[in-house]
Amino acid sequence: MGKITFDAEDRWNAFVTLCRKAEHGDGPLAGVPVAVKDNISTAGIQTTCGSAILKDYVPPYDAYVVERLKAAGAAIVGKTNMDEFGMGTTTESSAFGPTTNPVDPTRVPGGSSGGSAAAVAAGMVDMALGTDTGGSIRCPAAFCGIVGLKPTYGRTSRYGLIAYANSLEGIGPMGRTVEDVSRLFAVIAGHDPRDATSLDRPYNHTPSAEIRGMRIGVPLEFFGEGVDPAVGKTVRAAIERFTDLGAEVVECSMPSMKYALAAYYVTCTSEASSNLARFDGVRYGPANDIIPSWHESYQEHRKTHFGKEVRRRIMLGTFALSAGYYGKYYAKAQAARQNVRDDFARLFADVDVVAGPTMPTTAFRLGEKTDPLSMYLADILTVPANLAGVPAISVPCGTVDGLPVGLQLIGRHCEEERIIDAAYAFEGVRA
Amino acid sequence: MSDTTDVIIGLEIHCQLNTKTKLFCGCSTDYKNDGPNTHVCPVCLGLPGAMPMINRKAVEYGLKVARALNLEIPEEGEFSRKNYFYPDLPKGYQITMYDRPLAVKGYLEIEADDGTDKKVEITRIHLEEDPGKLVHVGGTARAHYTLVDYNRSGIPLIEIVTEPDLRSPKEARRFLTKLRATLEYLGVFDGEREGALRVDANISIRGSERVEIKNITSYKGVEKALTFEITRQKGMIRRGGKVVRETRHFQEARGITTSARSKETETDYRYFPEPDLCPLRVRDWAKEVVLPELPDARRDRFMAQYGISLNHARTLTGDLRLAEFYEALAAKTDPVLAATWTADTLLGELNYRDMPVTKVPLDHFADLVTLAGKDVITDRVAVDVLRTLLDAVMKGETPEMPGDYVRTQNLGKGDADAFAVVIDEVIAENEQAVADFRTGKNVALNFLVGQVMKKTRGKADPKEITPLIAARIAPEGGK
Ligand SMILES: [Zn+2]
């Protein structure tokens, strides 16, 4: 038991809330400062989801992963900035201002867990929790040059995670090294009866660089249109290193990629439109002036306090679920999703790990992505793992023009151990 | 056209299941005596990040209902979200079942208006959560603000939807009574609980548009609302008007329905599968469910075991508490007499007092039935003793055992000879009646019997004293 003083200077706006004096207990993470993304409920600490609508919302309970952190002795030193409700790839849509990339402050840190990535990359903390719905851990990990793991769907409990897209998202560890990520994952993985989708698959693996005989598949589609050639080249070179480690690298194909992005956006906006309905002004957010009818008051509240991107996605999702369109959009998206699952199942019958770039480009300039569609396209390489619920890790593999590039390793369902070993082995030879 | 066959009624019934905890969290459902918002947690308050956890008991209860109402149970059932905004709905959606309900296509057998047995088809049943409750401070019309009580939020409801098979308000009432009995026999429902039952009724006159009456909260209300609607709709058709398709509200106090005046656009609830819950493997689950004896089976058993009539058996099994009371009574006294006294006398007295059968002291009532059966007291005295008994219970007093009461009050049926003096008195006091009888007016005899009964405070048995009086005043040389 003890108390630490957290006095790191936050020049990147990585945190929405800082806990300068943080208590901690005993355990494997005793006294280790850990940053927690601001969509994960922390009892007694404001939890905003990067949104004005939740400003001053203080949850009365801890998320499962926060309970686990506390039980492991970690010191929660703050809540990190994020795209509003996780809806973004840049952390610019936060109501609390954008976070900047510690590698280059004119660049975005990626998103939506940009605050967590920046806090780690800047050395403010060794590890942080992020959440990944369509790449929200892996993208900022890649952009900021750190390690980020999106676990198998259900291997970490979502209880207390403020939902954006329930069927896609999960909480995962971010850190400077694969070892740190593995350590943090061991603390937060495990079964929680309060999350009906939670799996009883605890994790207590020690990373090993011994990967001889591992088969690594490289889908052509991961190097297709929209992927910056320089990024592609860096990642290809990185993948070649696995041959030196005794692994076998084979080319493969993932035709379902064609519809993955559409399936992803229909699913996540649909779920979001429902999840965010509760923010109606009756309970959360600043009180409205008296407005005669309750539905007008709802409209006014949601119009005023939700950001533009959130409103856009709520409208998209509302449309996709509406009568007459459900079959055309939501139902179709689920079919496309099944294709992605089938594709992975087919690939994983032959290879142990699927490898490719995490992001098609390096970090964008602040303000660069003004048109939502071009931002959505940046998620093309990360969403397949979410659609299929399989684990994926991003590990730094070099730079292009001084900006970090991430290598993405995707594994079989509940085989985090294997992609962690592969990432750990790569880390050893990266130099 | 007959007056009943052209009426078409279908019901949607919402019943609160009486599980100990709510549908998706561990909060207790027993909030009746507690203040607002005392039985709540992150889940039923819909706090951000909280997730539903299925109450297996509620599913089991639902499957019991499915089996008891002869429904087909699919391999899997699945919860969906019904999205709409309302201040009593903390998540902005209700977790319910949509295209994959718990069970489909069943029936409940009731007595039709013509006395025959009739199968009312059940379309589907499903589980869903109750929303919170709005409290308009100072009344709906003038309230400056509204408070929300989430104690009710997350209470498990079962929704039972019938086909439009009912043909009169009375049939609808009988269906609901039978349904309630069935649910109570299953031990999944407590009909006495306030707000435990809510009914939406669809009603049309054949060939005309259908009207939906929303949120009727009592059995009597259903019958009243439907009766009102039939009169209203038939009147409208008779005057050459057209019934418009609409939703109406039942004004319980005034006994009328009024138009909800909503534009009849279908609300788009944007249903989609609840991603935080897994589908339920209900078919296999239902096989493990054990059903207790249900009303019809108990009715047949009562007839066979106790030798009582169909009518008595039906009445006595129509309510779980009554059936249990009767069985306990039948173990203590003659079952046939017990049935007669319970069904024909006790029920009426209880209705009159609005008193539940569970309050009747069993030993006392058994004693009374035995006294009546042994001819110790007359039926009339027995009824009087019963009334005294029930009144005492209502007042919270401990009643005397009927046997003791009859003794101390000297209410026992006297020996016929002992009434001779009284008979003589009555004859002497009523010369006119005696004379009338002698001229052939038989009603005069009834009058004299009545006078004797009055003087003996009912102790005399009319069957015994009538021939005695007749013999005493018969014309000379009469038969
Ligand atoms: Zn609760």
Sign (positive/negative) of CA torsion B342, B346, B350, B352? positive
pLDDT in tens, B177-190: 999 999 999 999 99
Q: Is A112 in the active site? A: yes
Cα nearest neighbour of B147 on chain A = A282
Best residue in A42, A274, A322, A337 for a mutation probing chain B (most B CBs within 10 Å): A274
Q: How confident is the model at residue B474 (pLDDT cuts 50, 70, 90)?
A: confident
Q: Is A60 an interface residue toward B (CB < 8 Å)? A: yes
Model confidence at B270: pLDDT above 90: yes
Dihedral pair phi/psi, residue A182, rounded to 5°: -65, -40
Average pLDDT over residues A158-183: 98
Q: Is B143 an interface residue toward A (CB < 8 Å)? A: no
Q: How confident is the model at residue B479 (pLDDT cuts 50, 70, 90)?
A: very low
Residues of A in contact with B48 (CB under 8 A): 41, 47, 49, 54, 57, 59, 162-163, 278, 284
**Cα(A58) to centroid(ligand 1), Å:** 18
Using CA atoms, how far apart are residues A378 and A89, in angstroms rounded to an integer? 8
Cβ-contact A107, A100 below 8 angstroms = yes
Of the ranges B63-77, B184-198, B457-471, the best mean pLDDT one: B63-77
pLDDT in tens, B286-323: 999 999 999 999 999 999 999 999 999 999 999 999 99
Average pLDDT over residues B327-343: 96
Per the DSSP assignment, residues forming a β-bridge with B93 are B83
What pLDDT does B136 receive?
84
DSSP annotation of A154 reads T
Model confidence at B409: pLDDT above 70: yes
**Cα(B27) to centroid(ligand 1), Å:** 4
Nearest to A261 by CA among A159, A360, A379: A379
Q: Is B87 an interface residue toward A (CB < 8 Å)? A: yes
Average pLDDT over residues A284-311: 86
Using CA atoms, how far apart are residues A282 and A264, in angstroms rounded to an integer? 31
> Selecting from 3.90.1300.10, 2.170.16.10, 3.10.20.600, 2.40.50.140, what CATH number does the domain A2-188 have?
3.90.1300.10
Q: What is the ipTM of this complex?
A: 0.96
Q: Is A303 an interface residue toward B (CB < 8 Å)? A: no
Whether residue A321 and residue B83 make contact (CB cut-off 8 A), yes or no, is yes
Nearest to A302 by CA among A318, A316, A286: A286
pLDDT in tens, A29-60: 999 999 999 999 999 999 999 999 999 999 99
pLDDT in tens, A80-108: 999 999 999 999 999 999 999 999 999 99
Per the DSSP assignment, residues forming a β-bridge with A251 are A218
Q: How confident is the model at residue B1 (pLDDT cuts 50, 70, 90)?
A: very low
Percentage helix, strand, coil for chain A under 3-state DSSP, each rounded to 5: 35, 20, 45
What pLDDT does A56 receive?
93
Q: Where in chain B is the domain with CATH 1.10.10.410?
A: 416-473
**May I ask the CATH architecture of the domain B416-473?**
Orthogonal Bundle (1.10)
Model confidence at B411: pLDDT above 80: no
Which residues touch B265 (CB under 8 Å, ≥6 apart)? none
**A96-110, A337-351, B66-80, B215-229: range with lowest mean pLDDT:** B215-229
Residues with CB under 5 A from ligand 1 (ion): B 25, 27, 41, 43-44
Average pLDDT over residues B102-115: 95
Q: SS3 sequence, A319-353?
A: HHHCCCCCCCCHHHHHHHHHHHHHHHHHHHCCCCE
Residue the block writes with tokens 């010191």? A75
Q: Look at residue B121 and give its three-state secondary structure.
A: strand
Model confidence at B413: pLDDT above 80: no
Q: Which tokens in the block code for residue A285?
A: 């957010």
What pLDDT does B266 receive?
64
Q: Is A328 an interface residue toward B (CB < 8 Å)? A: no
**Cα(B83) to centroid(ligand 1), Å:** 20
Peptide bond into A112 cis (omega under 30): yes
User: Half-sphere exposure of residue B267, counting CA atoms within 13 Å on the CB side?
Assistant: 9
Identify the active-site residue in A94, A136, A157, A256: A136
What pLDDT does B263 receive?
55
Q: Is A322 in the active site? A: no
Average pLDDT over residues B123-135: 96
Percentage helix, strand, coil for chain B under 3-state DSSP, each rounded to 5: 40, 20, 40
Whether residue B47 and residue A60 make contact (CB cut-off 8 A), yes or no, is yes
Q: Is the pTM of this model over 0.80?
A: yes
Best residue in B54, B81, B85, B265 for a mutation probing chain A (most A CBs within 10 Å): B85
Whether residue B148 and residue A158 make contact (CB cut-off 8 A), yes or no, is no
Q: Which tokens in the block code for residue A135?
A: 């790449």
Cα nearest neighbour of B275 on chain A = A167
Using CA atoms, how far apart are residues B273 and B271, in angstroms rounded to an integer? 7
Q: Is B93 an interface residue toward A (CB < 8 Å)? A: yes
Length of chain B (residues): 479
Model confidence at B97: pLDDT above 70: yes
Residues of A in contact with B276 (CB under 8 A): 158, 163, 166, 195-197
Q: Is B131 an interface residue toward A (CB < 8 Å)? A: no
**Cα(B50) to centroid(ligand 1), Å:** 10
Whether residue B47 and residue A326 make contact (CB cut-off 8 A), yes or no, is no
Model confidence at A429: pLDDT above 90: yes
Cβ-contact A115, A14 below 8 angstroms = yes
What pLDDT does A232 receive?
98
Using CA atoms, how far apart are residues A360 and A383, in angstroms rounded to an integer? 12
Residues of B in contact with A41 (CB under 8 A): 47-49
What pLDDT does A287 receive?
76
Of the ranges A344-358, B108-122, B133-147, B436-450, the best mean pLDDT one: A344-358
* pLDDT > 90 in chain A, percent: 94
What pLDDT does B469 receive?
85
Identify the active-site residue in A112, A182, A198, A394: A112
Average pLDDT over residues B45-64: 98
Average pLDDT over residues A280-296: 79
Average pLDDT over residues B338-361: 95
Average pLDDT over residues B94-113: 96
Residue ranges covered by each domain of chain A:
2-188
The H or E element containing residue B349 is helix B347-353
Q: How confident is the model at residue A197 (pLDDT cuts 50, 70, 90)?
A: very high
Q: Is A157 in the active site? A: no
Whether residue B50 and residue A197 make contact (CB cut-off 8 A), yes or no, is no
